[in-house]
A and B are shown apart, each in its own frame.
Chain A
Amino acid sequence: MSDKTPVLSIEGLHVGIDGNPILHGIDLKIKPGEIHAIMGRNGSGKTTAASTIMGHPDYEVESGSIELNGADLLELEAWERARKGVFLSFQYPQSVPGLQVGHFLRKSVAAICGDEAAKGAPFRNALKSAMEEVSIPRSFLSRYVNDGFSGGEKKRFEILQLMLLKPKLAILDETDSGLDIDGIRVVSRGINAAIRGSDSGALIITHYSRILEHVKPDYVHVLIKGKIVKSGGPELALELEERGYEWLESGTTEDD
């Protein structure tokens, strides 16, 4: 922890929504090149954590800190965080009827990577190869953002954006849910290529160990009722798959 500034550093994070406390003190550090996974029951607070890191205004940070490469994020709005390198692949990507995919991608690349990156041949080539990589046909460029996309297409489109926007911190909120087997392979390849050996980091939220077999996370964290109750290596994912969460639940209070 001392040698390199973590990509993401969360300390003592308490978050509530509409006055209801959801996260009760989260600590998490992701160092450059690392991939972490978070697993946990429905409603345990995974999306809350992801949305809070991204800067959703509805989530109230009661205490604690979130830093990206040592710089405070909490003061920034979501779009500023995005421009600093935070990326969230949404559990439920939103549709924007009338907004063309091609136009949206170009604008987003311009906003985050700069105007130059969104111009001419370099952009076209990056777009072309990323689309091939995630198997999204060219015809999607003139469709509207997530409008009428199938569940799996939405997830592939999130990964396409991940590949084009080259974030410092990639958070994937159940990107594997709804993806077919090839899709999971594609996503895993994308994440490995983007993170391993780079100075970026990734946080993968998932319910299944399958994606983790491909990605091989450095750490797996278990979130229960707004707290990380256990952290371990990739083998923890398999153990969870086998045993469920119950065995961890009893320990929630002492563990803190």
Chain B
Amino acid sequence: MAMEEAREAVGDYKEGWHDPEHSTIRFDSGLSEEVVRKISKIKNEPEWMTEVRVKAYHHFVNRPMPGFGDREALEGIDFDKVCYYLRSSDATEKDWGDVPEDIRNTFDRLGIPEAEQKWLSGVTAQYESEAVYHSIREDLESQGVIFLDMDSGLREHPELVKKYFCSVVPYQDNKFSALNTAVWSGGSFIYVPKGVSVEMPVQAYFRINAKNMGQFERTLIVADEGSSIHYVEGCTAPTYSTDSLHSAVVELIAHEGAHIRYSTIQNWSANVYNLVTKRGIAHKDATIEWIDGNIGSKLTMKYPAVILKGEGSHAEVISVAYAGKGQHQDAGAKIHHLASNTTSKILSKSISKDGGRGSYRGMVTVSPKAENCKLNVVCDALILDDGSQTDTYPTMEVANPSARCEHEASVSKVSDDQVFYLMSRGHSEEEALAMIVNGFFEPFTRELPMEYAVELNKLMALEMEGSIG
């Protein structure tokens, strides 16, 4: 019976395996000020960071749960059962050969070292709370590009981190940004100097392995004037019958004329709560793009945001969400036009299937002083069967009449005739559905590096398998 349940829970999720847990440090579950101070102490952090953590902790305790999203699911989170810090390896290695063998095997299986060799500028691999591997191409290092795990970033560049940490996402922003600020560990710290373009993407990969784990990585990317970078992150976790919590905070700062593209393919197992705050600030003529793919997880609440602070800056949020059995994807975007001649584009695509629920929650604002802004919002939902659900909550607050706003929304159902048409060309029902779904996601996948697009299509094909009644 238990076995069957487990299989049921795993379904077709192919990254649901786990390694035996091994830890050099594992905190007892539960959260207190003491736990927060202990994390900071282990990491030998400067005083100011400890203080920020403690303040954030108290804010977290007093802050109520968000009043939107899936309140019922949120109430299901048992913060006392979560393990807030788990270190499995004593060091962050520069050579895969030095990473403990079973952890290395995990990343091998996920294809990370292979991808690194082929098409990445740098990689950081995080396992539970800490980065276990980290490397960057030498030529980038010699151009002054900093790409570190966040803990090393704080140690080696305390003044830079202090300047930007919490500057885009204050810990008071929401309950989960407070939680992350209190207990953060790992994540990436990136600084791209003036005028430097990092041609190939850098990648971070986040793996949760242990049960009841809480992963709270913290990422900070600063692109100085005229620079550019593409950051890619992937995440997976084993399937357990108990829940895990992933609550990250990502802050992006794009200085004048800089370009940051941040791509995520999140593929959490169905027992992970994924509650993430992502926000970037774009200065004059800068561009920030969030390319956000949400597959899996139990509940995702994620609304990548851009503050268009400088004149002529541009924001783009392209996201897809796939809500399968027992899953709720509450995703969307937020864009604030604070300056004139700023432009933004939101494209959101969601699919719900097997009773899953996909929600689009979007907010675009134009401040009174921002002249001649252009906004474009498109959200499309595709429903694959009758029990599944989709809803949209678009909000536009435009306080300057010169703004040009476009908004389109569509909800469609896969029709039997469409499936039949493809089947008449020799494709099984599953293949036909996968073709329709991949087609629906195409405007998203074409924004991804090819390797990721292929991976995403494979994932979607897997999701379609064995699902036909």
Contact = CB atoms under 8 A, between A and B. Distances in A.
Interface of A: 51, 54-58, 77-79, 81-83, 86-88, 90, 92-100, 104, 107-108, 111-112, 144-145, 161, 165
A161 B422 CA distance: 12
B416 interface: yes
Contacts of B418: 94-96
Contacts of B443: 98
Contacts of A95: 418
B421 interface: yes
Interface in B223-278: none
Most B Cβ at <10 Å: residue of A56, A95, A98: A98
Contacts of A145: 439
A98 B438 contact: yes
Interface in B428-461: 428-429, 431-432, 435-436, 438-443
Nearest to B420: A56
A196 to B, nearest CB: 24
Contacts of A108: 425-427
B417 interface: yes
B424 interface: yes
Given A99-B438, A104-B435, A94 B423 contact: no
Instruction: Indicate the member of A55, A90, A99, A108 with the most B CB atoms within 10 Å.
Output: A99
Given A57-B416, A77-B429, A107-B427, A93 B439 contact: no
Given A93-B421, A99-B442, 6 more contacts: A87-B424, A96-B418, A104-B425, A108-B425, A112-B426, A144-B442
A97 B424 contact: no
A99 B435 contact: yes
A144 to B, nearest CB: 7
A112 B440 contact: no
A93 B418 CA distance: 9
B24 interface: no
Nearest to B416: A58
A79 B426 contact: yes
B439 A78 contact: no
Contacts of A54: 420, 424
A111 B427 contact: yes
B425 A96 contact: no
B425 A161 contact: yes
A82 B442 contact: no
Interface in B385-429: 415-418, 420-429
21 contacts: A57-B420, A58-B416, A77-B423, A77-B428, A79-B424, A90-B421, A93-B421, A94-B417, A94-B422, A96-B435, A97-B442, A98-B441, A99-B438, A100-B442, A104-B435, A107-B427, A111-B425, A111-B431, A144-B439, A144-B442, A165-B425
B420 A78 contact: yes
A83 B420 CA distance: 14
Nearest to B414: A96
B439 A98 contact: yes
A83 B438 contact: no
B421 A82 contact: no
Contacts of B416: 57-58
Contacts of B420: 51, 54, 56-57, 78, 94
Given A57-B420, A94-B417, A99 B436 contact: yes
A171 B304 CA distance: 50
A82 B429 contact: no
Contacts of B436: 96, 99
Contacts of A94: 415, 417-418, 420-422
B423 A79 contact: yes
Given A94-B415, A96-B418, A99-B436, A112 B425 contact: yes
> Top 9 closest A-B pairs, CB basis?
A98-B439, A111-B426, A98-B442, A99-B439, A94-B421, A78-B423, A108-B425, A112-B426, A82-B426
Between B421, B436, B443, the greatest number of chain A beta carbons within 10 A of the residue's beta carbon is seen for B421
A92 B436 CA distance: 17
A97 B440 contact: yes
A99 B440 CA distance: 8
A165 B424 CA distance: 11
A75 to B, nearest CB: 15
Nearest to B412: A97
A75 B273 CA distance: 45
